[in-house]
């Protein structure tokens, strides 16, 4: 069986991040047709066009790495009703130089996770707009807005909320089918 390679990009650098915990739960509950790998984004120099003529090695490696995946799963918090700058920086880095974006055409999905009650809809929606510009077909259904995150995990960071666990399984099944439709 050929597995589809999926990059998991988490928009929080925090050690005890609920988004990281949710991302791990999504990976653990993914169908076997997917092979998922976390992408590090916290080590990337801040994007400046000045660096494009002689890009930092971490940018080059990041762009190559992104290129090697069949699809991307974004798991993001909401900062001030949008997604965090660290995630925007990673997206910008791999979108350049102009005309050489390595995101283009890769199917994606967005899961937003917050301690708040609104499920970080603002972050998800802003990110969706960016991915549309980048030409990344992004799954529309099911949507994933995970609120009240502090009540979903145990002290070891494991997702213990039964309904969220069931949702994680069905979401990843749908995402696998979504990616398959774009990968020949």
Give the range of 10-18, 33-41, 62-70, 98-106 binding ligand FNR by CB under 6 A.
10-18
6 is a site residue for ligand FNR (CB under 6 A): no
Largest pairwise CA distance in the chain: 50
Q: Interface with ligand FNR includes 120 (CB under 6 A)?
A: yes
Q: Is the dihedral of CA 14, 96, 66, 25 positive or negative?
A: positive
For the segment 43-82, give every residue that binds ligand FNR (CB under 6 A). 77-81
Nearest alpha-carbon partner for 161 in 151, 146, 172:
151
> Token pair 């089918």 is at which residue?
177
12 binds ligand FNR (CB under 6 A): yes
Query: Position of tokens 């909401």?
Result: 78
What is the C-alpha to C-alpha distance for residues 19 and 61, in angstroms, rounded to an integer?
Answer: 24
Nearest in space to 115 (alpha carbons), one of 152, 84, 88: 152
- 124 sits near ligand FNR (criterion: CB under 6 A): no
CA angle (120 as vertex; 117, 121 as ends), nearest 5: 110
Contact with ligand FNR (CB under 6 A): which of 115, 125, 160, 173?
A: 115
- Among 4, 18, 70, 167, which residue interacts with ligand FNR (rule: CB under 6 A)? 18
Q: Closer CB to ligand FNR, residue 43 or residue 68?
A: 43
CB of 117 to ligand FNR, least distance (A): 8
Altogether, the residues listed in the chain come to a count of 184
Q: Does 38 bind ligand FNR (CB under 6 A)?
A: no
- 163/118 Cα distance (integer angstroms): 17
Nearer to ligand FNR, 14 or 67 (CB): 14
Q: Which residues bind ligand FNR (CB under 6 A)?
A: 12, 14, 17-19, 77-81, 113-116, 118, 120
């Amino acid at each position: 069986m050929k597995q589809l390679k999926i990059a998991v990009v988490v928009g929080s650098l925090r050690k005890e991040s609920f988004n990281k915990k949710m991302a791990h739960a999504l990976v653990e509950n993914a169908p076997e047709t997917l092979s998922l790998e976390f992408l590090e984004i916290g080590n990337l120099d801040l994007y400046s066009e000045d660096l494009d003529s002689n890009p930092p090695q971490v940018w080059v490696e990041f762009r190559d790495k992104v290129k090697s995946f069949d699809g991307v799963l974004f798991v993001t918090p909401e900062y001030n009703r949008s997604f965090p700058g660290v995630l925007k920086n990673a997206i910008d880095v791999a979108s350049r130089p102009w005309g050489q974006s390595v995101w283009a055409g890769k199917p994606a999905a967005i899961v937003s996770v917050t301690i708040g009650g609104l499920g970080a809809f603002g972050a998800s929606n802003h990110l969706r707009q960016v991915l549309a510009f980048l030409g990344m077909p992004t799954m529309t259904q099911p949507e994933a807005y995970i609120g009240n995150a502090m009540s979903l995990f145990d002290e070891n960071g494991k997702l213990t909320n039964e309904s969220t666990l069931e949702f994680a399984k069905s979401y990843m099944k749908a995402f696998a089918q979504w990616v398959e439709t774009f990968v020949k």
